[in-house]
Structure 1
């Protein structure tokens, strides 16, 4: 039994193939089109999934879409009618698209699937899942838990913005919901917009900026913007927002409350933006903690599953774990809309088809390594065609050579095995560095990633060593939990350094691994497991043997505004357009100084800024 899940037409389009309850393949469309957050029909991702499953579209038993378009249209119409005449501009902009395309999405999907099949229309079984059902299913059915509370939090689906569910075996029931326009995701996005970052893209920048600031505006948010109840339910005062009726996120009342107009994108950051980021992060954490506490009390479960875009807030996730509200937490690595493709397909398998879950104690995501891979022969053919100069090493030589480069403080592009599904690079499409270097964080941000200097990098650490270096004793394979660097690994600033504020604190070393230690001593930890990524685990093991440190800097293999690389050609282009010094693809090693000068390129301007 094969089920194809599809998410599309908003942002982060993706496809996923489920075969007899097992996730065979999953990928985001952006990785193929090279357009970040590509919202279009995921034709390339569908073709990849079919190829990975060795099947054709006509071999698929059910295709399921992650949204119900008519419910979303109902929400839009009711919102516009409730805000007449204020919402007319937004209504006028949205309606032509809905009338032309989205109201007839079923027909459009059949046509797109037909194109893949080589016909005018695909006439197989086409199903639709509610948005938050897809999110919840992606969290619970993919998790290792047979019973769990399930929280989903995002901007908005059809009507729902936050849901509490209860998973028990093959049953998943949504018990409580909060509806649009009251949305934790949209509240966070309002501050993303106000501080000058791009909505649906820059939210993680707010999270990274928050430790540089002080939550001076948190009480103002709680007093004016959000009425937060003890159980985590909330109501947003729409006088301060413009996402219902206008074409921006915030209103003039919002600007008056916080003392000025929104920051212009790419203009210098000030302490005010840092304090605003700290404030909305603090409020978000409080909401999530109250929701989690209520979920524990309402369901009686000791395990929690999380999905939806807000579940990518790894600082809030770390707070929930640290507070001990649940014994264990599992977060869907593709928690945003892309993961809806997986969730919709799993919901059909377990709830529509009533199939049991396998009690294997492991999650179904297989380390999130669900995307394309390339054989050594393919890698060499593609690099040769690109004009690259490379050498081929044995497994042991490859690991040793890469560790040597890292110890020399070189930035290493590392492409191995299957591409990750979701927004995080987890050791297969990564740029790696030595975390002990006090220069590595700044070098990678400014010379390799071409992004804002304040943004932190994540540590990859062998699972068996995590508790020695971080305040974490559980698995964190998907880089979705933040924990503190252990006290004995920290370096205390001197009095002058301690007195610094804001971005001035950036270059103060704070631990034995300064490149991955944020200004508040926190780190977004990825635990690396021998069972799911043996080559990356072996790299960490050899690095530990030679340095005493089982940690590496791990950031996604791309530059700002670019999707994570997918193919050898993508990796080579990024290598040649940045100051990455070594590129390792499969067993192939490339040195920057050996490459033809004619192939060097300026990569900074090739992608729209995120």
Structure 2
């Protein structure tokens, strides 16, 4: 039995294919269209899933869409009515999109895919919660979802039990922690729904001196985690901007423009809202524990990507076990939607799965040696094919000599993190490596940190934790900044990835070989892309990124391409790609 889950028309569209209750493939549309956060109907993603499994759309038994459009449209109409006459421009701008496409999802699916089978809808937060619970190894758990807004819900608590996810508590729009955090994202000069992780990265440079002001004027939070925004300071209901002039007057400074340098003021603003995020997640988790009474917690929604708050929650030991879906944002809702079809609609018996990266993350496209060679030969690229052992030794040697490697292996990761198959790798031992990677490779802001990947069994020797953190969704402190300065952030924390042989044997072998040379079982692991570009999907994407940056070595499968032997830029890679800055 095949079930297709679809997420579309807001941001990070994606598709997931379930076969007899198991995810066989999942991919975000942005990887195939090369448009970051692509929100279009994920036709390319769906085609990929069908081709991967070698089936026709007629063989799909059920399609599940990740939310209920009419409920969302009802919320939008209510919002417009509440803000008359100020909501008119928002109404005018959005009504055409809704009337033309967003209200007619079944017809869109049928027309785009030539599909005549059954289509059902689940609620947005049901998709999030199901994606978190059914990818966990828990038979029962409390489930917390926090994002901007779904149809109406912004924060939910659910109970997962066997093959059922039951919603228990909901908070509704406009009272949204996700939108509150996005307001400060905009205030600090970053793009809403894209730059929230930058705000998190900015926070360690400041102090929480505005925390009390925010809690007294902008938001109130009760002991049972009820959050209420003071809408005097926000304008997202009018569709123009997240914040308004009252917001800026409260803090005495204008919105920072992207080209402007950061001042201590914006560092302190970022730290203040991050501190509130940390505290709120603890309050919400404490309340969830009280009403669900479980030792297990599942987290989902875009706010669950805030690894700093996740790390803070972990330290509090409210729950014995915490699981965060590797793609907790809207991209991951296609997986949740597919599971709703399997467990809620067809009422199948629950089958627990492991948290191995092969099951959870490596769900995308892969390329054969033949396909890689074809593009290398076509573009007259000088390359060398090597054995697995030589590949590992050469790569580790290059890394130990301060070279940067583009690493392209196996199946592409699903979700926002590169976890060893579409990665840029570097040594963490050099103090200037962070600045070099930001300016010459990633082409992004200099304050942004890089994550370490470490052999799973060595994590306790380098960070203040002994747990596995396979998907870079928690931060941990380290006392080793003097040894690995380029992957420890300003506050001595890092967004750690642990890796085992079972998760990714080749990646594990590379880090182990690097340890033999340097006595350090750690590499910098950052996504294989430049600012504004989706993570590379194909060998062509990898080659383009390689030739347009200062990456020294590109490793595509078993093939090594050295920049020093490819001085003449192939014609195919001379065309300038302009990515919209995130």
Q: TM-score, normalised by structure 2?
A: 0.98
Provide the residue aligned with 1:534 in structure 2. Answer: 505
Aligned partner of residue 267 in structure 2, secondary structure: helix
- 1:520-562 deviation digits (Å, cap 9, x = unpaired): 0000000112112110011111111221111000000000000
Provide the residue aligned with 1:609 in structure 2. Answer: 581
1:412 and 2:405 aligned: yes
How many equivalent residue pairs? Answer: 581
- 1:552-608 deviation digits (Å, cap 9, x = unpaired): 000000000000000000000000000000000100001001114233868986211
In 2, the alpha carbon distance for the partners of 1:253 and 1:603 equals 45
In 1, the alpha carbon distance for the partners of 2:73 and 2:551 equals 46
User: Map of 1:219-258 to 2, 5 A cutoff?
Assistant: 219-258=212-251
Provide the residue aligned with 1:47 in structure 2. Answer: 47
1:309 corresponds, among 277, 289, 302, to 302
Provide the residue aligned with 1:498 in structure 2. Answer: none
Relative distance call for 1:360 and 1:561 in structure 2 (3 A) is closer
Aligned partner of residue 144 in structure 2, secondary structure: strand
Q: Could you tell me whether the CA contact under 8 Å between 1:240 and 1:251 is conserved in 2?
A: yes
Q: Could you tell me whether the CA contact under 8 Å between 2:144 and 2:299 is conserved in 1?
A: yes
Q: Could you tell me whether the CA contact under 8 Å between 2:13 and 2:29 is conserved in 1?
A: yes
1:401 and 2:394 aligned: yes
Provide the residue aligned with 2:112 in structure 1. Answer: 112
Aligned partner of residue 503 in structure 2, secondary structure: coil
2:518 corresponds, among 541, 547, 563, to 547
- The farther-off stretch of 259-268 and 74-83 is 259-268
Aligned partner of residue 317 in structure 1, secondary structure: helix
State the 1:365 CA deviation: 6.5
Provide the residue aligned with 1:7 in structure 2. Answer: 7
Provide the residue aligned with 1:391 in structure 2. Answer: 384
User: Map of 1:317-466 to 2, 5 A cutoff?
Assistant: 317-362=310-355, 366-466=359-459
Question: Which ranges of 4 or more aligned residues in structure 1 deviate by more than 4 Å?
Answer: 360-365, 600-605
2:149 corresponds, among 144, 152, 156, to 156
Provide the residue aligned with 1:503 in structure 2. Answer: none
1:188 and 2:181 aligned: yes
Structure 2's unaligned 5+ residue stretches are none
Provide the residue aligned with 1:273 in structure 2. Answer: 266
Relative distance call for 1:558 and 1:603 in structure 2 (3 A) is farther
Q: Could you tell me whether the CA contact under 8 Å between 2:356 and 2:502 is conserved in 1?
A: no
- 1:357-392 deviation digits (Å, cap 9, x = unpaired): 224554687240000011112111122223322110
- 1:82-116 deviation digits (Å, cap 9, x = unpaired): 111111111111111111221222211211112xx
Aligned partner of residue 101 in structure 1, secondary structure: helix
User: Map of 1:22-37 to 2, 5 A cutoff?
Assistant: 22-37=22-37
1:568 corresponds, among 539, 542, 547, to 539
Structure 1's unaligned 5+ residue stretches are 115-121, 490-509
Aligned partner of residue 244 in structure 1, secondary structure: helix
Aligned partner of residue 334 in structure 2, secondary structure: helix
Provide the residue aligned with 1:138 in structure 2. Answer: 131
Q: Could you tell me whether the CA contact under 8 Å between 1:458 and 1:555 is conserved in 2?
A: yes
1:478 corresponds, among 463, 471, 482, to 471
State the 1:27 CA deviation: 0.4
Q: Could you tell me whether the CA contact under 8 Å between 1:511 and 1:517 is conserved in 2?
A: no
2:209 corresponds, among 206, 216, 230, to 216
Q: TM-score, normalised by structure 1?
A: 0.93
Q: Could you tell me whether the CA contact under 8 Å between 2:357 and 2:470 is conserved in 1?
A: no
Q: Could you tell me whether the CA contact under 8 Å between 2:136 and 2:352 is conserved in 1?
A: no
In 2, the alpha carbon distance for the partners of 1:301 and 1:356 equals 21
- 1:149-191 deviation digits (Å, cap 9, x = unpaired): 1000000010001100111111111100110001111001011
Q: Could you tell me whether the CA contact under 8 Å between 1:388 and 1:596 is conserved in 2?
A: no
Provide the residue aligned with 1:504 in structure 2. Answer: none
Provide the residue aligned with 2:86 in structure 1. Answer: 86
In 1, the alpha carbon distance for the partners of 2:153 and 2:7 equals 17
Aligned partner of residue 379 in structure 1, secondary structure: helix
In 2, the alpha carbon distance for the partners of 1:405 and 1:271 equals 38
- 1:107-137 deviation digits (Å, cap 9, x = unpaired): 11211112xxxxxxx2111111110000000
Aligned partner of residue 104 in structure 2, secondary structure: helix
In 2, the alpha carbon distance for the partners of 1:353 and 1:364 equals 27
1:166 and 2:159 aligned: yes
In 1, the alpha carbon distance for the partners of 2:162 and 2:357 equals 14
In 2, the alpha carbon distance for the partners of 1:246 and 1:87 equals 8
In 1, the alpha carbon distance for the partners of 2:462 and 2:88 equals 55
Aligned partner of residue 384 in structure 1, secondary structure: helix
State the 1:238 CA deviation: 0.7
In 2, the alpha carbon distance for the partners of 1:392 and 1:543 equals 21
